[in-house]
Amino acid sequence: MTTSINLITPPGELLELIESARRPLLIAHIAPDGDAIGSLLAAGILLHYLGKEPLLACQDRVPVTLRFLPFQDQIKSDVRDFDPDVVIAVDSSDPSRMGAIYDPDRFYQAPLVVIDHHVTNVHFGDINWVEPSCCAAAEMIYYLMRALDVTPTKELASCLLTGLVTDTRGFRTANTTARVVGIASKLMEAGAPLNRITENALNSRSYDLISLWGRVLGTVQRDGGIISVSNERAMREDLNGIIRADGVVSFILGAYAAKVAVVLTELPEGKIECSFRARPGSDVATIALQLGGGGHPLASGCTVEGTLPDVRQQVFALLRETNAWAE
Ligand code: 5GP
Ligand code: MN
- Determine whether 305 is exposed, middle or buried from the number of CB atoms within 10 Å of its CB (0-12, 13-18, 19+): exposed
pLDDT of residue 321: 87
Give the binding-site residues of ligand 1, using a 6 Å CB cut-off.
Answer: 93-94, 97, 249, 275, 293-296, 299-303
Q: How far is the CA of 135 from the centre of ligand 1 (A)?
A: 14
- What's the confidence (pLDDT) of residue 137? 98
- Note the pTM of the prediction, 2 decimals: 0.95
Per-residue confidence (pLDDT) for residue 277, from 0 to 100: 98
DSSP 89-122: EES-SSGGGGGGG--HHHHTTSPEEEEE--TT--
Q: Which domains does the chain have, with CATH numbers?
A: 12-201 (3.90.1640.10), 207-325 (3.10.310.30)
Paired strand residues for 25: 55, 87
| 194 closest CA partner among 231, 233, 154, 227 | 154
Contacts with 239 (C-beta within 8 Å, 6 or more apart), sequence order:
208, 211, 212
**What's the CA-to-centroid distance between 295 and ligand 1, angstroms?**
5
User: What CA–CA distance (Å, rounded) separates 159 from 71?
Assistant: 10
Helix, strand, coil % (nearest 5) of the chain? 40, 15, 45
pLDDT in the model for residue 4: 85
> In the prediction, which pLDDT does 51 show?
98
Residues of the chain with pLDDT under 70: 1-3, 324-327
User: What pLDDT is recorded for position 175?
Assistant: 93
Q: Which ligand is nearest to the CA of 34?
A: 2
> How much distance in Å is there from the Cα of 299 to the middle of ligand 2?
10
Distance (angstroms) between ligand 1 centre and the Cα of 49 equals 31
The answer to whether 266 touches 308, Cβ cutoff 8 Å, is yes
Q: Whose CA is nearest to atom 19 of ligand 1?
A: 302
pLDDT of residue 159: 99
CB 266 within 8 A of CB 278: no
Q: How far is the CA of 102 from the centre of ligand 1 (A)?
A: 18
**Chain segment 63-116, per-residue pLDDT in tens:** 999 999 999 999 999 999 999 999 999 999 999 999 999 999 999 999 999 999
pLDDT by residue (tens digit) across 251-270? 999 999 999 999 999 999 99
Q: What pairing do the DSSP bridges indicate for beta strands 299-304 and 55-57?
A: unpaired
- Closest of 56, 37, 262 to residue 166, by C-alpha: 37
Question: Which listed ligand is nearest to 95 at the C-alpha?
Answer: 1
Distance from Cα 271 to the centre of ligand 2, integer Å: 23
Residue nearest to atom 6 of ligand 1 (CA): 300
Closest Cα to atom 23 of ligand 1: 294
Q: Which ligand is nearest to the CA of 297?
A: 1
Tell the residue nearest (CA) to atom 17 of ligand 1: 301
DSSP summary character for residue 193: -
